[in-house]
Amino acid sequence: MFLAAAALVGAASLSSCATFSNHGVAAKVDNTTLSQHDLEVLTTTYLANEIAGATSSSPLPTAQLQRNLLTIWVLTTGLSTAGAVSQAEIDAAMSSGPATHKNSWVSAPPEVQKMVAIWDAIQGAQLSITDGTAAMSKFKVSVDSRNGWWDSANLKVTAFG
């Protein structure tokens, strides 16, 4: 699911920041920030792990999990802000969240439920590459270098090296 949505939006041209001076912030999309603390909450929440591709039988290394979660956060923040998915689609995904994510929805914090609902709405919208690229190209994205770097060509947070 994760790779399908990332591939869906294709190779957008996003600004990226090679240096990042605010170490309390894990990532930024324009003026919207995700703190390192909030990234830790995502990393330890089963629902977030589930959409990032980790399962109890197939966990991801922490660094990869964080990069996947940062990618999802950047895409959900940008695409929802750009209106690539409607509020009605997000509301519908919020309503179906408990059924879609049976074992993990109820225990997740509300902010994680909202991110997952937006992610589900994005996947359900089946955006074309052109629409996704156009929506994401409006944003400046930066990621704390401890977590990797924003690869604007592949729309994902990538490890250095």
Q: Which two tokens stand for residue 118?
A: 């937006």
CB atoms within 10 A of CB 116: 25
In this prediction, residue 126 has a pLDDT band, given cuts at 50, 70 and 90, of: confident
In this prediction, residue 141 has a pLDDT band, given cuts at 50, 70 and 90, of: very high
What pLDDT, on a 0 to 100 scale, did the predictor assign at position 4?
A: 43
H/E stretch holding 149 reads: strand 149-151
- What would the pLDDT profile of 69-104 be if each residue is shown by its tens digit? 999 999 999 999 999 999 999 999 999 999 999 989
pTM confidence score = 0.83
Closest C-alpha to 142, from 161, 159, 157: 157
With a CB cutoff of 8 Å and minimum separation 6, the contacts of 60 are 49, 52, 53, 54, 68
Q: How far apart are CA 73 and CA 140, in angstroms?
A: 14
What pLDDT, on a 0 to 100 scale, did the predictor assign at position 38?
A: 95
CB atoms within 10 A of CB 140: 13
Q: How far apart are CA 67 and CA 143, in angstroms?
A: 10
Q: How far apart are CA 128 and CA 119, in angstroms?
A: 15
What pLDDT, on a 0 to 100 scale, did the predictor assign at position 22?
A: 66
